[in-house]
Structures are given as structure tokens and as C-alpha cells.
Structure 1
Amino acid sequence: MAGWVDSGNAVQASVVALARELSDPVRLTALQLLAAEGPHTMVQLADAMGVSPPRLGNHLARLRAAGLVTVEHTGRHAVYQVGRADIADVLTALARYAHRGDPVTPRRTSSPVDVAHTCYDHAAGRLGISVFATLVEAGALRPPDGRTGDLALGEDLTALHRLGVDPAAVAPRRRLASACLDRTHRVPHLGGDLGRLVLDAFVAAGLVRRQDGTRELLVTGRGDERLPVLLPGFTPAP
């Protein structure tokens, strides 16, 4: 019994220590970026997060001490990555819990931009998150392990074909697919050339329409009907 109690206390202490590190928004965001998008230099992380490198450096030092990130020196650059691949599962679970169990349902009232907008040449917002989740859960894509933001093709590409995408159409020398952290919802949406192809397919099928001069994507009447079928759990209405 004593051994069981000791073991339980050790696990509890480990959980408390992890919660302490994740309780700070700067450390949490840094981990989310590294887990979703792969290794970053401190400058890249600071730029993405909108914080100063000295402030971020203090937090990265704490994450290193806790074993949550590691650093590799390449020339004059220090490149950070997650220390454990399974931290991505913890972060995803937290994001889902924060969104009441649904990774694509925000806690606050949605705006049209929350529903769908562009991030570079791919879809972001709840639409992009649903594309990512659907393809991973269907086995069309294998999720990143936290050491890189790249996704690999899975064994069953049916879900990609249902979205109107042929993986063979990926542009040469472009990343096939990547996990791009959605800054609003804190879970990944689909980037890379597959992300571009999915958005192009949705536009060609009349499911979404680009808004001139803005990043907003308008879900059409046809999209209201078809997208929830193609992307289980996605609800177009804000």
C-alpha cells in the first residue's frame, strides 16, 4: 500500500508541476506553437507571439528546466522544439476542454471571420480546423509528432478525395501539409500545399467565396448544406 501511495504522490507532483508551467499564457502559447508548427528560433517565436525576446527567453528557460522544451544550437541560432512528443496530446485535450469538448466551437460568440478566413493561401478559423481534424481522424493525414510541423499522407486518402483534392496535384518543392496553429482557437488548421488545394476545391465547388480586399471567407448557401456533411462537427452559422 505504501508503494502505491508513494507512486500516486509522485504522479500527482508531476501533474502539479506541469500545470504550473502551462498556467502562464506565454509559456502555454510557446508550447502550442512548437507542438503544432515544429522547431522555432527564439526570434521566430517572439515574432509569432508578439513578445520581446528577453521576456520570452525567461519563459523558455523555465520550460527547458521542466523538460518541456529542448534547444539545439545551429551556428549562431538556438532552435527550440518540444521535449516530449506527447505534450501535443495534452495541449489538444486542454484546448478541447476549454472549448467545451468541441475543438471547433469557440467559447465566445463567433463572428464570420471566426468561422472562415484565409491564412496565407489556406483556410483558417473553424473551417480550417475542421479540415485538419477530419483528415487526421479519417486517416488521410498523420499528425505531426511535435518535432516538426509537417504532416504525412496516411493510408486511406478517401477523405481527401471527398473534399475534391488529389494529393498528386501538390506543387513541386512546396510542403505537402503542415499544422498551422490557429491563433484564435489554439488548435491547428491545415497549412501547406494540401491546405491550398482544399481551399481552392471549396471555392471551385461554390462552398465558400473569397471576399475582395479582406481575409474573410464567406460560406455560401451551398456550403451551408455540404460542408457539415464533408466535415463532421462543422457548423457554418456564426
Structure 2
Amino acid sequence: MAGWVDSGNAVQASVVALARELADPVRLTALQLLAAEGPHTMVQLADAMGVTPPRLGNHLARLRAAGLVTVEHTGRHAVYQVARADIADVLTAIARYAHHDDLTAPRRASSPVDVAHTCYDHAAGRLGISVLTTLVSAGALHPPDGRTGELVLGDDLTALHRLGVDARAVAPRRRLASACLDRTHRVPHLGGDLGRLVLDAFVADDLVRRQDGTRELLVTERGAARLPDLLPGFTPGP
């Protein structure tokens, strides 16, 4: 009995230690980015998170001490990545629990930007998330393993072709596809050159339109009718 209790206490201590590290928003966001997008330098992480490198450095040191991230020195750069791929499962479970419906909590009104906007040269928001989910579910892409943000082509490219994209058109020396953490919804959308090709195909087919001077993407009447069929589960309205 004593051994069982000691073992239980050790597990409990480990859970408490993990919760302590994840309780800080800077450390949590850093882990989310590394799990979704793969290795980053400190400067890349700081830029993506909107914090200063010195402030982030203290948090990364704590994550290293806790065994949650590792660092590899490449030339003058220190590249950080998650220590274990299964941390992505933990972060996903926490995000799902946190977003569970709470009828007593005030909710921010949804906006068109939540539905679709650009992230660099690809689609983000619910549209970009649905693109990634659809292609992975249909076997057109294999998801990342948590240590890199890379996605690789699957064996069945039918879903990709339905979106009007030929993977052979990917630009040389550009990353084919990546799981890019969506800043609005905190889950990945499709990045990389494949993400660019999908967005270009949607614009060419007048499913979405770019808005001058903003990152917002307008889902057209044609897109509202066709996109839910191309992307099961996608809803074009706010």
C-alpha cells in the first residue's frame, strides 16, 4: 500500500509541476507555437508572440528546466522545440476544455475576421482551419508529429484537387505545407506554399475576395454556397 501511495504522490507532484508551467500565458503560448509550428529560434518565437526576447528567454529557461522544451545550437542560433511530441495532445485537450460552452460566461461577438482572414499569404480563421482539417481527414496530408510543423502529402490527393490545387505547383525552396497556429482560434490552419495555392484557388474561383488595406477575406455568395461542400463543417457566417 505504501508503495502505491508513494507512486501516486509522485504522479500528483508531476501533474502539479506541469500545471504550474502551463499556468503562465507566455509559457503556454510558447509551447503551443512550438507544438503546432515546429522549431523556432528565440527571436522567431518572440516576434510571433509579441514579447521581447529577454522576457521570453526567462520563460524558455523555465520550460527547459521542466523538461518541456529542448534547445539545439546551430551556429549562432539557439533553436527550441518541444521535448516530447505528446505535449501537443495535452495542449489540445486543455484548449478543448477551456472552450467548452459556459452559459454563464460573457462571449465576444463573432466577426467576419473570425471566419476568414489572411496570415501572410494563406487563409486563416475558420476557413484556414477547415482547409487543414479537411485535407488531413481526407488523407491528402499527413499531420505533423509535434517536433516540426511540417506536413507531408498523403496518398489520396482527391480532396486537394477538389479545392483546385495541383501540389506540383509549389514554389521551389518553399516549405510545402505547415500547421500554422491560428492566433484567433488557437488551433492550426494550413500554412506553407500549399496554403498559398489554396487561397489563390479560392480567390480565382471567386469563393473569397481580398479586402483592400485589410487582412479580412470576404466569403462571397458563391463561396457561401460552395465552401461548406468543399470543406465539411465550415460555416461561412459569423
Larger CA deviation: 137-146 vs 19-28: 137-146
Determine if the alignment matches structure 1 residue 15 to structure 2 residue 15. yes
Determine if the alignment matches structure 1 residue 154 to structure 2 residue 143. no
Aligned residue in 2 for 1:104: none
Q: In 2 relative to 1, CA 7–232 (structure 1 residues): closer, same or farther, beyond 3 Å? A: farther
Aligned residue in 2 for 1:119: 119
Q: Which runs of 5+ in 2 are unaligned?
A: 102-106
Find the aligned partners of 2:73 and 2:96 in 1 and give their Cα distance: 34
TM-score of the superposition, structure 2-length normalised? 0.90
Aligned residue runs from structure 1 range 26-41, under 5 A: 26-41=26-41
Shift of 1:205: 2.0
- Percent identity of the aligned residues? 90
Aligned residue in 2 for 1:206: 206
Shift of 1:130: 1.2
Q: Which runs of 5+ in 1 are unaligned?
A: 102-106
Shift of 1:24: 0.6
Aligned residue in 1 for 2:177: 177
- DSSP-derived class of the 1:95 partner: helix
Aligned residue runs from structure 1 range 1-238, under 5 A: 3-100=3-100, 108-238=108-238
Q: State the number of aligned residues.
A: 233
Q: In 2 relative to 1, CA 171–97 (structure 1 residues): closer, same or farther, beyond 3 Å? A: same
Shift of 1:192: 0.8
Q: In 2 relative to 1, CA 158–96 (structure 1 residues): closer, same or farther, beyond 3 Å? A: farther
Larger CA deviation: 121-130 vs 11-20: 11-20
Q: For each residue in 1:130-175, what CA deviation from the matched residue of structure 2 results, as whole angstroms up to 9, or x when unmatched? A: 1112212222111112222211111222221222212122122221
Q: In 2 relative to 1, CA 137–15 (structure 1 residues): closer, same or farther, beyond 3 Å? A: farther
Amino acid at match of 2:141: L
Amino acid at match of 2:59: H
TM-score of the superposition, structure 1-length normalised? 0.90
Find the aligned partners of 2:12 and 2:141 in 1 and give their Cα distance: 34
